[in-house]
Structure formats: structure tokens, C-alpha cells
Structure 1
Amino acid sequence: MDDSIVIDNAGQPPVVMQFHDYREKSIPLESRAIQKIHGKRSITELQRPKGMDLRLAALVGIGGAIGAVARYALQQWLPADTLPWGTITANLVGSLLLGILLGAVAAGATIGDDVVLLFGTGVLGAFTTMSAFAVDSIRLAESNASSTLIMITTTILGSIALAWLGWRFSTSIIA
């Protein structure tokens, strides 16, 4: 059974989120070798959600590899003497770029799902990092509480603000 939720998007076209059930289905084993050994049998497998295929998963994986390497390079390049500037910068820049990309999609730009998956989910999903942010926050808190507060505030509020600015920028120039 498929369920859909429609989300009001502040005057923009509504966003429809679809949720798919994973259904079990029996697949007959037609292999002669298996039939000879075990007789004709069936196995149960999970049906993939509609629209999911290995090509799209590969796009996300390729994008993820690019984003992870880019974040690693940024973290090596920027000093982490007082604050983990690589993690902060990756989260801020990635949030801005994701806001621009998804704002363009929301405004009706012709950007294919492949591009959104490759760059949005893959590259920017791996480039931005909640886990490194969390670990950096814990490490920093052990030595400097005020710097920890600055990092947490800058990262969270800055990421939200920059994603919003990117979204507004895209929707204003495309609409």
C-alpha cells in the first residue's frame, strides 16, 4: 500500500512525499541445478521500492565518494588549531549549495533526478557531515566550552541560514 503526504510549501507548489511498503513476494526458482538438488521450490525476497534501481544507487555512491574526498581535503587544508574549521566550512558551504540546488528544483528548473541524486544526496550529503560535527563538538567541549558553543551555534544556525539563502536565491532568479 502506497501512502502520500502533501506538504504545504508557503505558496510554492506542494511537495508530495510518497512512502512505499516493502512487500514480500514469492519467486519460483527455475534453475535446473537447484531443481535437481532440492526439487522445485520458491524463495521469498523483498521487493524494491518503486523507482529504486542500481544505476541511481551508483550515482549516489559516486557522488558520495567525491563529496567525502572533498571534505577530507578541506579538513586537511584548513587549520584546526582553535576550531575544526574544515568541518564548519564543509557544513556551511554544503548547506548553501544544497539550498541553491533544491531551491532551483522547487522553482521549476529543469534539473533531472539523476543530477539531484548525484550532487544533492551524493556529493553534498557526504561533503556535509553531522557525525564529524558531533565528534568535534565532544572533543572541543573537553578543552574549551566557549569555543564549543561558538562552533555549535555557528554550524547549526549558519547552515540553516545559508540553506535558506541558497533556496531564496534560486527561487528568486528562476521564478
Structure 2
Amino acid sequence: MQNEPAGEEPVDPGIGLRAPAQRSEAGLRQRPVVLAVALGGAAGASARYGASLLWPTAPDAFPWTTLVVNAVGCAVIGVFMVLISDVWVAHRLVRPFFGTGVLGGFTTFSTYAIDIQRLVDGGEARTGLAYLALTLVAALFAVWAAAALTRRVIQWRQP
């Protein structure tokens, strides 16, 4: 602790710092995970884009497509998490591929934020706030209800 600048803690070389060889090895172990997330994300984003083509939303309309996509995605996350946590022993890349990648790419909370801004900027502040709240409630309810229903189905099917 001697000669330390005022207000700074000494750096412990065993915490948070790694030798270049360790960083390289850790990076190699993470490549399959990064690839799984990227491939899943591309699939999820493509599915979301497909939903927007099948059910387009006019610029001045309530963004039902985004709301439904987010709620459905959250419901699937609820089912998925119960299945891989309580039922199956999943491969280590299943969660990054499907949970983070596919469902992260499919749900579109960035578009949700842009939709709110578009509604508020267009003079529809009440609609924007209603959409903000409705999406939050729908997403939380969807993940909770889907997880609870999945657990009940699993319990019912077990002898």
C-alpha cells in the first residue's frame, strides 16, 4: 500500500488480471458460445422481421405487432427456461443459441422504445405511455404464466 495514489486501491494481480495465454485460452472456449448466440440471433431477428412483413404496422397506428412479438417471445422464454432447468439436461450451447440468440433476436425491445418515442413525438403521449405499460405487463405476465403452466403440465405428466 505504500506509494499508492490517494483514493486508489492497490491492484491484486490474482484478481481480474490474467496472463495473455489465459486470455487467449478463455477466448477460444467462448468462440462456440459467441457463434451460437450469433446464429440464434440471426434466426430470431429474421423471424421477427417476417412477423413485421406479415402484420405491418402503419406509422401512426398502435404497434400491435411489436407488442405481440414481445409477449410471445417472453412466453416462449418461460417455457424454455422451465424445460432446460427442470426437465432436460441441455447441451451447454442450447441456452446461448435459443435463449439468448433466437429469443433475444426475436423479441424486440429496441423497437418497443422507438415505437414509444414515435408515438410521443407524434402527439400521442397517452398512447405511448399506455403502450409502454401494456407491453411491460404483457411480457411479465407471459413469462410467468407460461412458466407456471409448463410446470403444471410437467407435474401432471409425471407418474
Give the TM-score of the pair, scaled to structure 1: 0.69
Cα offsets for 1:18-46 (capped at 9, x unmatched): xxx6432044xxxxxxxxxxxxxxxx956
- Structure 1 residues 80, 155: closer, same or farther in 2, change over 3 A? same
Q: Is the Cα contact below 8 Å between 2:32 and 2:93 reproduced in 1?
A: no
Equivalent residues in 2 for 1:73-152, closer than 5 Å:
73-81=50-58, 82-143=61-122, 144-152=124-132
| In structure 1, distance between residues paired with 2:92 and 2:68 | 27
- 1:48 matched to 2:26? The reply is yes
| Structure (1 or 2) with the greater strand fraction | 1
RMSD, matched Cα: 2.3
Residue of structure 1 in register with 2:136 after alignment: 156
Residue 46 of structure 2 aligns with an amino acid whose one-letter code is: V
Q: Which has the higher contact order (CA 8 A, sep 6+)?
A: 2
**Could you tell which deviates more after superposition, 157-166 or 70-79?**
70-79
- Structure 1 residues 119, 136: closer, same or farther in 2, change over 3 A? same
Instruction: Detail structure 1 runs of 4+ shifted over 3 Å in the superposition.
Output: 44-47
- Structure 1 residues 167, 120: closer, same or farther in 2, change over 3 A? same
Q: Which runs of 5+ in 2 are unaligned?
A: 1-14
Aligned length: 138
